[in-house]
Structure 1
Amino acid sequence: MQLVDIGVNLTHPTFARDPRAVLARAYAAGVTQLVLTGTSLQKSEAALALCQELDETGTQLVCTAGVHPHDASQWTAASSAQLRSLLAEPRVRAVGECGLDFNRDLSPRREQERALEEQLQLAVETGLPVFLHERDAAQRLVEILRSFRDQLGAAVVHCFTGDKAALYAYLDLDMNIGITGWICDERRGTHLQPLVGDIPATRLMLESDAPYLLPRSLRPKPKGGQNEPAFLPEVLREVARHRGVSEQALAKSTTLCARAFFNLAPLETP
């Protein structure tokens, strides 16, 4: 059984000491391919460098490149040119993480929208898929995406935590959905449990969002409470349970979906 983790923040400082060990544990757990998330221009460059350093074959690690809505206030014309250059790199497989965050509002909303629209335009120009972030902004994100949708290729709402109305709005736009350990959280994720059954198998992918969102159902809990890609099978277990399918079937469908989305080559079974 092979899994693809479509969202790993391997550039996070907590992974800096020994990223090879993090990957070794992931591979041992069956998480054989990973997409490293770029959340700023600097971190996108760092994610690309990690892909090149830690996976010489180019078969197991790829990355995204983009500017998170938290950093949208720093977006300039120069940012667009720098990102366009990054998107030309073979290991960069999607534009993002970009989107809207009306929960924390760390950048003004209009600046978030401007940065998002310019990154969507880059996705149109390059033909790359889009890796999207959204918090408390589903209606506005749908409005913006609708004006680009006919020109865009594939798009995924990563770490989906919204309600049924948001899910169906994204599915109506032919979006993919990324599910994290949020579904394992008995305090705030239970609303996702009946919703995951409504996501078509061809549009569902799994992600750790490590080092964030440690699955609260995981036993035993790791010391320090930090999430890792190696814990993605716990997300698989919970999603499979609530979809009423086997873990093997869900692993196969989510892996096929992720490989098609990020243009990942199949790996030989060990």
Structure 2
Amino acid sequence: MLLPITNHQSPMHLIDIGANLTHDSFDHDRDAVLQRARDAGVVQMVVTGASREHSPQALALAQAHPGELFATAGVHPHHATEYTAECDAEMRELHAHPEVVAVGECGLDYFRDFSPRPAQRKAFERQLQIAAETGKPLFLHQRDAHVDFMAIMREFDGRLGRAVVHCFTGTRNELFDYLDCDWHIGITGWLCDERRGGHLRELVKSIPANRLMIETDAPYLLPRTVRPQPSHRRNEPMYLAHIVEELARDRGEDTAVAAANATATTRAFFGLPGAPVTASGDGT
């Protein structure tokens, strides 16, 4: 069991479990984005793979930054129609690489319905099969599809390992359904959105420390409480420090405690090594 961290003097070493660093908005300054993240205490990141196009790119980024960047490989429900037999073979090939630490982003999204719901369910099931066969953790997406999402996950009871519901924005009932299944919860800057995320400020108090992880979902979901707001509105991993500060306040914890617990939980969940020592010697 994860024990609470009590050393309030420790510097923050953060891990972003969901950064879409293959997004084209980062093409012109990706190295600078990574450096700003390091300067803000983000020592490792999991690069989200969410399509046939971007999952191989996520792996390539992870291979270019060993020990610092890792990848997921999967097909988001928005792209479910691309999940063919050939796509399944490509995903399985990606998962042969140790830098790919989770299956997904996969799941269901009935809010946008960018892919037909039957196609979403089929793609989700095929990726759960990969997770069952490889034993890798799941990086899950669910929006406005909770009943079907839970029903499909139950079909794989006893066959899956660890799972995180990424970018949790749901209801109290949904949260407790996930926690009852011993799944992990990823919290983003949605927490900082007074228009849509106010309910999360109370709900995060109920998430055990050994089930709670943090993420930016960059370049999406720039925290609305960041000051000054960047003119480009692009989220970056460096803002993870802002998210953990708000999370700690809502949980009634010292920021260093919340940060250290989230980092320990993340390393255990994904099986990550300690962060590489940087040129300045500030790795952990």
Shorter-chain TM-score bucket reads over 0.9
Corresponding residue for residue 145 of structure 2 = 137
Which one of 26, 31, 50 corresponds to residue 15 of structure 1? 26
Which one of 97, 115, 118 corresponds to residue 110 of structure 1? 118
Corresponding residue for residue 169 of structure 2 = 161
Q: Is contact 2:52-2:82 (8 Å) kept?
A: no
Shift of 1:36: 0.2
Q: Deviations over 1:182-240 (max 9, x none)?
A: 00001110011100000010000000000000000111111211110001111101111
Larger relative helix fraction? 1
2: CA distance between counterparts of 1:117 and 1:127? 15
Which one of 181, 189, 199 corresponds to residue 197 of structure 2? 189
Q: Is contact 1:157-1:177 (8 Å) kept?
A: yes
Whether 1:95 aligns to 2:106 is no
1: CA distance between counterparts of 2:68 and 2:268? 14
TM-score using structure 1 length:
0.97
Which one of 77, 85, 96 corresponds to residue 85 of structure 2? 77
2: CA distance between counterparts of 1:198 and 1:260? 20
1: CA distance between counterparts of 2:51 and 2:158? 27
SS in structure 1 opposite 2:107?
strand
Higher relative contact order (CA 8 A, sep 6+): 2
RMSD: 0.9
SS in structure 1 opposite 2:53?
helix
Which one of 33, 49, 73 corresponds to residue 38 of structure 1? 49
In structure 2, the gaps of 5 or more residues are: 1-11
Corresponding residue for residue 133 of structure 2 = 125
Q: Counterpart of 2:41 in structure 1: which amino acid? A: G
Whether 1:221 aligns to 2:229 is yes
2: CA distance between counterparts of 1:138 and 1:251? 29
Corresponding residue for residue 247 of structure 1 = 255
Whether 1:176 aligns to 2:184 is yes
Q: Counterpart of 1:192 in structure 2: which amino acid? A: L
Q: Is contact 1:149-1:173 (8 Å) kept?
A: no
Corresponding residue for residue 238 of structure 2 = 230
Q: Is contact 1:146-1:173 (8 Å) kept?
A: no
SS in structure 2 opposite 1:116?
helix
SS in structure 2 opposite 1:98?
strand
Shift of 1:173: 0.9
Question: How many residues are matched?
Answer: 267
2: CA distance between counterparts of 1:27 and 1:163? 33
2: CA distance between counterparts of 1:148 and 1:248? 37
SS in structure 2 opposite 1:235?
helix
Q: Counterpart of 1:241 in structure 2: which amino acid? A: R
